[in-house]
């Protein structure tokens, strides 16, 4: 299978959420017809409410794999349609959670993304799903999907091919860094940045240093 985008999702409606600064959440994302423009802060028509933890250039686009969604659907006994997890791009044929941090990914003809971080589950996500012990279950699965920054802007749409352009040699994946990070992953990532193999965003760098401090 040629890796591709199966759905492009943006916020459908703002929902009440007591834990965010605005009292709202943008997690309700649903597929929209393309093309959708992608810029440095994400997709046109999308938004974030909890900006200390979501959004910004480092977390501009969230990708989740159809294969991982299907595994959850089988376990939960319910559909996991595109956007349910708050993702912007649902993909097929690509191990999104296995992407190495700093990998560069072309989407269609113009957009280039750089993988930055895993998605760690939160109370908002748990309320969205309404499943028992969701935060722990999602964390234990270690299939977080990947956040990315936008290296080159353009338009995306369902059916766009996904092409890996480059993969850093350090080998640390977004799944390795999902909290709690696997032993040695944070140290390896920080060493890779020191060696100029990857440029981390501030939140990712801070998180790796905190993981390292916890030992």
Q: Where are the domains of the chain?
A: 4-168
Helices 185-194 and 202-214 sit at what angle, rounded to 10 degrees?
Answer: 130
Mean pLDDT (whole number) for 170-175 = 98
Q: Where are the beta strands (DSSP E) in the chain?
A: 4-11, 15-16, 24-25, 29-31, 36-39, 42-43, 61-65, 89-92, 104-107, 111-118, 146-152, 154-156, 162-166
Report the pLDDT value the prediction gives residue 82, as an integer from 0 to 100. 98
CA–centroid distance for 177 within its chain:
12
Mean pLDDT of 29-50: 92
For the record, the structure tokens of 186 come out as 């944070």
- pLDDT of 16 over the 90 cut: no
Average pLDDT for 115-139: 96
User: Taking 90 as the threshold, does the pLDDT of residue 20 lie above it?
Assistant: no
Q: What is the mean pLDDT of residues 29-37?
A: 95
In angstroms, the Cα distances linking 181 to 13, 151, 172, 175, 204 are: 33, 26, 10, 8, 12
pTM: 0.96
Per-residue pLDDT reduced to its tens digit, 183-199: 999 999 999 999 999 99
Q: Say whether 14 sits in a helix, a strand or coil.
A: coil
Overall average pLDDT of the 155-182 stretch: 97
Quote the DSSP letter at residue 52: T
Can you tell me the mean pLDDT for 66-84? Answer: 98
Name, in order, each residue with C-beta under 8 angstroms of 65's C-beta and a sequence gap of 6 or more.
Answer: 90, 91, 92, 94, 95, 96, 97, 143, 145
In the chain, the percentage of residues whose pLDDT exceeds 70 is 98
Strand bridging mode 61-65 / 89-92: parallel
CB of 155 closer than 8 Å to CB of 106: no
Residue 205 has pLDDT above 90, yes or no: yes
d(C-alpha 171, C-alpha 154), whole Å: 28
Predicted confidence band of residue 141 (pLDDT cuts 50, 70, 90)? very high
* CATH 3.20.130.10 is held by the domain 4-168: no
Residue 47: pLDDT band with limits 50, 70, 90:
confident
Q: What angle do CA 116, 117, 122 make, to 5 degrees?
A: 145
What average pLDDT does this structure show over 127-138?
97
The pLDDT, as a whole number, for residue 55 is: 82
- Cα dihedral 45, 46, 50, 56, rounded to 10, equals -100
| Mean per-residue pLDDT of the chain | 95
- Read off the pLDDT of each residue in 9-14 and give the average, rounded to a whole number: 94
Rounded to whole angstroms, the Cα distance separating 180 from 183 reads 9
């Amino acid at each position: 299978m040629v890796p591709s985008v199966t759905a492009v999702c943006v916020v459908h409606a703002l929902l009440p959420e007591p834990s965010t600064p605005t009292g709202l959440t943008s997690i309700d994302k649903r597929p929209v017809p393309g093309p959708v423009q992608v810029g440095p802060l994400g997709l046109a028509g999308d938004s974030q409410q909890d900006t200390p933890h979501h959004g910004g250039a480092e977390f501009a686009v969230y990708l989740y794999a159809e294969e991982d969604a299907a595994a959850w659907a089988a376990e939960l006994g319910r559909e996991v349609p595109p956007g349910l997890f708050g993702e912007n791009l649902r993909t097929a044929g690509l191990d999104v959670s296995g992407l190495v941090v700093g990998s560069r990914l072309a989407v269609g003809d113009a957009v280039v993304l750089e993988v930055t971080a895993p998605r760690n589950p939160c109370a908002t996500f748990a309320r969205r799903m309404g499943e028992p012990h969701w935060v722990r279950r999602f964390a234990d699965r270690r299939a977080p999907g990947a956040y990315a920054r936008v290296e080159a802007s353009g338009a995306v749409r369902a059916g766009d091919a996904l092409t890996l352009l480059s993969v850093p040699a350090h080998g640390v994946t977004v799944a390795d860094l999902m909290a709690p990070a696997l032993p040695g992953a944070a140290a390896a990532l920080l060493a890779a940045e020191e060696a100029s193999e990857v440029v981390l965003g501030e939140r990712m760098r801070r998180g790796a240093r905190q993981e390292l401090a916890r030992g």
